[in-house]
Structures are given as structure tokens and as C-alpha cells.
Amino acid sequence: MVRVGLLGLGDAGKHHARALKHGVVDASWTTLGARDADQANRVLVDELGVSDMRQHVVAPDELLAGGRCDALIIATPDGLHFDHARRALAAGMHVLVEKPLALEVAQAHELVALAQARDRVLQVGYQLRHHVGHERVHAQLAELVGTLRTIHVRWAWPDPAVDGWRARGHDARWWSLAALGTHAIDLALWLDGGEVVEVHALREPPAGIDRLAEVSLRFASGVLAHVSVAVTHRAQPSLVLAGDAGEVDCAGTLGARGAGTITHRANREATELGFAVEDPYLRQLRTFVARCEGSGARIDAQAATNVELLHRISPA
Ligand SMILES: NC(=O)c1ccc[n+]([C@@H]2O[C@H](COP(=O)([O-])OP(=O)(O)OC[C@H]3O[C@@H](n4cnc5c(N)ncnc54)[C@H](OP(=O)(O)O)[C@@H]3O)[C@@H](O)[C@H]2O)c1
């Protein structure tokens, strides 16, 4: 049985808490790390319907010191991921850390090296890889589109946290790029599977914390990807993959619910691709626990690549 802990109970932490509450085989949720234990316990009971965990809520430093769980989910602000993940790995825990892995490229590599040295799992919270429909498209990509040529990801969502930590650049380096863009880049990295050889980007504003970004990537395979993200307005999120033999159009699949519609077009015919709607955070948790038990890759190597790309897109 893998004992899982959670650090942070904000927006992302609540998604993880719901998955932990649902439960997965071979894992038990043993601990929550929070700065204000009473407040955290109130959120658990009143908002999430979790039974009282008061005696299992501990201070973040206590949780990070080790001994309370085998695997830790870290859902704290971006700028804290490095310190929290480093301490958790050093204390012998497997780590599922929210995206992006770190704010600096060197930090991302240090975490990967530490996880390797300790033989611990280092997974990053790219739950869109665990969307059932996306998994189907990934598995059948060649059959659906032939040779993949282009990837387009558009995601615009008016973030209400205009005076939050991201908007202020406190414990953060990017806004639209870290809230949404890093997911889009991850999807492109996952779908192509190869190396990015060229990057072009426009950001608005051009310096400082980004609110909109348009990014073009060229992969070594010849695939071109375009990412369009914004935290200023709402637009239908979409992921479109086109190849020599067809196109896959995922509408409304980007998000936390595992929902949306996926249409396959080939030979002038459109067919809906069916999939089960299932919480991607729960599926992500299952994968994490399985990895902790020794099944599958221990480390998300592309997570460090993602930080490198964010740095190239927005070097300041
Ligand atoms: N995968 C996704 O789609 C997704 C979605 C949303 C967010 N995220 C990621 O999740 C992370 C958190 O974002 P969020 O939106 O959940 O932020 P949030 O709502 O502001 O929550 C942040 C949490 O971190 C805690 N925290 C802040 N400073 C801390 C510290 N010094 N030590 C320990 N805990 C601390 C906060 O506790 P207090 O209540 O004590 O302040 C709060 O529980 C970010 O990296 C973000 O990119 C991912």
C-alpha cells in the first residue's frame, strides 16, 4: 500500500484531493500538508465532503521532512515546486509535482538528477495526457491522421486571479504560459515524442508576466506545432492534429473534467470518436501510484524539456 500525502489545498490541490478521496487501488491518503490546519480541514469537510482529517493535517515542513508518506503530491505555487520537490525527494518520497516542474532550467535538471539518484518517481501534473479521449488519439495517431504534420492548441480562459501570485509574478515567472501554455507544449511533446529544434514566440505584454502568448515549435520530425494561450478572455479550447490521411479535432477536452468531443475527419467524412468521461486527475493518480510500485517510467524527462522551452519562449 502506497501512503500518499498532499501538500497544498488551493485550486489544483482540491482536484487532487477529490481524486484521493475517490481512492485508487494500492494507495491510501494519509496526510495533508497545510499552513493553516483548521482552514484546510474546513475546506476538506465543507467543500470536498472528506471526513475530518484534522489529526492528519501537518505543517508543510513536517510533511517535507519525511516519514509521513511514501509519495507526495505537491500543489503549491510554481516558484515553490523546486524547493518542495527537492526536499521531498531528498527525504525519500516519490513526487507528483504540479506543472511547471520548476522556474529555472537548472532547477528542473537538478530535480530529474535527484530523482534518478534516489530511484524515486518524478511525475509532473500534466493530467491532459490522462484524458481518456486524448489517450485514444495518442494510441491510434498514425491510423487516424497518417503522417502527423501539424498540431494546433488553443486555450484561452479569463483567469479571475488578477491580483493572485501569478499575476503579481510572486512565486511565478509566467502566467498564460504556466497556467495553460505548459499543458499545450506538453501535449505537443507527447504527441510528437521527439525533439524541438526551433521556437518562435510572441507574448503580450512583450516583457514581464505574460497574459497572452502565441508560440510556434518545429520538431525534428518536421511536425510544426502552434500554441495559442491567453488568460484575458474565453475561447473554445481546442486541440487539432492534422496529417496526410486525416484530421482529429478535440473540442472542449482541455480542462479538468475529462469531457469534450473528438471528431475524426478523413476522406470528407466526419466521425465522432467515443471515449469514457473520467476524471483525468484520478487517472493521473492511478498512473502515479503504479509508477511508485515499479510499473512504467520513473521520471518524466519531457518535464524538464518543457521548462527549457518556457525559458526559450520567455527568457527574462
Ligand atoms: N494541472 C492543472 O491543470 C493545474 C490547475 C491549477 C493549478 N495548477 C498548478 O498547481 C499549483 C498551485 O496552483 P493553484 O491554482 O492551486 O494555487 P492556489 O489556489 O493559490 O493554491 C496554492 C496552495 O499552496 C499553498 N501554499 C502557498 N504558499 C505555500 C508555502 N510557502 N508553503 C506551503 N504551502 C503553500 C497555499 O496555502 P495557503 O492556503 O496557506 O495560502 C494553497 O493551498 C501551481 O503550480 C499551478 O500551476 C495546475
Tell me the sheet residues that pair with 96.
73, 123
The Cα–Cα gap between 307 and 13 comes to 21
How much is the average pLDDT of 188-211? 97
**Is the Cβ atom of 123 under 6 angstroms away from ligand 1?**
no
Q: Which three cell numbers stand for residue 134?
A: 486524448
Name the percent of the chain lying above pLDDT 70: 100
How much is the average pLDDT of 117-137? 98
Residue 251 neighbours by CB under 8 Å, 6+ apart? 236, 237, 238, 260, 261, 262, 263
> What tens digit of pLDDT does each residue of 20-66 get?
999 999 999 999 999 999 999 999 999 999 988 889 999 999 999 99
> What tens digit of pLDDT does each residue of 227-282 get?
999 999 999 999 999 999 999 999 999 989 999 999 999 999 999 999 999 999 99
**Is the Cβ atom of 11 under 6 angstroms away from ligand 1?**
yes
DSSP reduced 3-state for 140: coil
pLDDT of residue 315: 86
pLDDT of residue 267: 92
Ligand 1 centroid distance, CA of 257 (Å): 19
Where are the strands (E) in 82-233, listed by range?
Answer: 94-97, 122-124, 148-156, 196-204, 212-219, 224-230
**Is the Cβ atom of 62 under 6 angstroms away from ligand 1?**
no
2, pLDDT greater than 90: yes
**Is the Cβ atom of 132 under 6 angstroms away from ligand 1?**
no
Ligand 1 centroid distance, CA of 194 (Å): 31
> What tens digit of pLDDT does each residue of 167-193 get?
998 999 999 999 999 999 999 999 999
Mean pLDDT of the chain, nearest integer: 96
Q: Which three cell numbers stand for residue 48?
A: 470536498
Helix, strand, coil tally for the chain in percent (to 5): 40, 25, 35
The Cα–Cα gap between 292 and 118 comes to 13
Strand 269-273 and strand 261-266: the pairing is antiparallel
Ligand 1 centroid distance, CA of 53 (Å): 20
pLDDT of residue 301: 83
Ligand 1 centroid distance, CA of 81 (Å): 10
Q: What are phi and psi of 227, to 5 degrees?
A: -120, 125
Ligand 1 centroid distance, CA of 180 (Å): 15
The Cα–Cα gap between 274 and 114 comes to 40
**Is the Cβ atom of 75 under 6 angstroms away from ligand 1?**
yes
Neighbours of 255 (CB within 10 A): 16
Give the mutation target among 58, 98, 282 for probing the ligand 1 site: most ligand atoms within 8 A of CB: 98
The Cα–Cα gap between 191 and 203 comes to 24
Ligand 1 centroid distance, CA of 74 (Å): 8
Pair 93, 71: CB distance under 8 Å: yes
**Is the Cβ atom of 35 under 6 angstroms away from ligand 1?**
yes
Minimum CA distance residue for ligand 1 atom 19: 10
pLDDT of residue 305: 97
**Is the Cβ atom of 258 under 6 angstroms away from ligand 1?**
no
**Is the Cβ atom of 77 under 6 angstroms away from ligand 1?**
yes
